[in-house]
Structure 1
Amino acid sequence: MRVFDIKFKRKVVRDYLSGKGGYKILAAKYDIADSLVRTWVGAYQHHGNAGLDRQRGRYTNEFKLGRDRV
């Protein structure tokens, strides 16, 4: 599985939002699945740049031990 950096994702999303092509056209241009373009655009529209950042299931030790509760 390929991992895409945030700069590449932003470039694809910017191209889509500026009207340089639809999902399928941009997918062909960048040699990626059109579902990725659709996912990245939706994530960007909903969460901004943070939506394009890879989310890794990292939890703090405090959370794991239940100490983060008030």
Structure 2
Amino acid sequence: MDIDPTFGVFFKYSEQLRQRVVDEYLAEGVGTATLAARHGIARTVIRDWIGRYRQHGSAGLRKKFSHYDASFSKG
């Protein structure tokens, strides 16, 4: 069974940290391996943040919460 290494870790890190890591990637031109070692974050997670940022800007790094009432889940 394959497990997505980024599953569940998006919310583990603050929005400020996600933005700082992406900013470092863009401004300093360092690789994801360097950033992973510097911050103790998996490279796959950092690549995911960079992709979200490129696609959606800062909004792609924000936490999103969805709450559905019982009637919605019963379809």
- CA displacement, residues 1-58 of structure 1 (integer Å, 9 cap, x when unaligned): 7611100000000000012411110000000100111000110010011100122333
Q: Which residue of 1 aligns with 2:58?
A: 49
* Greater RCO (Cα-Cα under 8 Å, separation 6 or more): 2
Aligned position for 1:24:
33
Counterparts of 1:24 and 1:58, CA distance in 2? 36
Letter aligned with residue 13 of structure 1: V
SS of equivalent residue, structure 2 residue 67: coil
* Structure 1 unaligned regions, length at least 5: 66-70
RMSD of Structure 2 on Structure 1 (CA): 2.2
- Count of residues in Structure 1 that have an aligned counterpart in Structure 2: 63
Q: In structure 2, how many angstroms separate the alpha carbons of the residues matched to 1:53 and 1:23?
A: 20
TM-score (norm 1): 0.76
Structure 2 runs not aligned, ≥5 long: 1-7
Secondary structure of the equivalent of 2:30?
Answer: coil
Q: What residue identity is the alignment partner of 2:65?
A: R
